[in-house]
Chains A and B, each alone.
Chain A
Amino acid sequence: MTSSSGRRRIRAPGVLWREGEFGVVVLPPGDSGPQTLSGSAPALWHALEQPHTDLALAADLAFQFGIEAHRVLADIAPVLDELTACGALIEAP
Chain B
Amino acid sequence: MNASPKTSSAQEAAVAGPAQAATRAIAAYGLPGAAELPTTPLDADVWHRVFTDATRERTIPLLAIAVADAGLPATPDQKVEITRAHEQAMRRCLVLDRALLETSALLDAAGIETRALKGSAGAHLDYPDPSWRAYGDVDLLVGSDQLDDAIAALIAAGGRRTVPEIHPGFDRRFGKGACIVRPDAIQIDVHRTFAAGPFGLTIDLSKLFTDITPFVLGDRMLSALDRESRFLHACYHAALGDSIPRLTALRDVAQLSLANPLELDTALDRARAWRAESVVARAVTLSWDALGLEPSPLSRWAGSYQPDRFEARSLRAYTSDARSYATQTAAGVAAIPGLTAKAAYVRALVFADRGHVAARDGGYTKRIRRGWRALRNTAGPR
Residues of A within 8 A of B (CB): 13-23, 25, 27, 29, 33-34, 36
Contact = CB atoms under 8 A, between A and B. Distances in A.
Contact of A20 (B64, B101, B217): B64
Given A13-B219, A16-B217, A16-B218, A22 B94 contact: no
Interface string B333-372: 0000000000000000000000000000000000000000
Contacts of B97: 16, 27
B90 interface: yes
Nearest to A18: B90
A23 B86 CA distance: 10
A20 B87 contact: yes
Given A20-B68, A20-B131, A14 B94 contact: no
Contacts, number: 59
Most buried by B among A13, A14, A23, A34: A34
Contact of A18 (B65, B83, B131): B131
A20 B68 CA distance: 8
A14 B219 contact: yes
Interface of B: 61, 64-65, 67-68, 79, 83-84, 86-87, 90-91, 93-95, 97-98, 101, 129-131, 217-220
25 contacts: A13-B218, A14-B101, A14-B220, A16-B97, A16-B217, A17-B94, A18-B94, A18-B130, A19-B129, A20-B64, A20-B83, A20-B90, A20-B131, A21-B67, A21-B68, A21-B83, A22-B84, A22-B86, A23-B87, A27-B91, A27-B94, A27-B95, A27-B97, A29-B219, A36-B91
A49 to B, nearest CB: 14
Nearest to B91: A34
A14 B65 CA distance: 26
Interface residues of chain B: helix, strand, loop or mixed (majority): helix
A19 to B, nearest CB: 6
Given A15-B218, A16-B217, A18-B131, A25 B83 contact: no
A36 B87 contact: yes
Given A25-B91, A29-B218, A36-B91, A16 B98 contact: yes
A21 B67 CA distance: 9
B64 A21 contact: yes
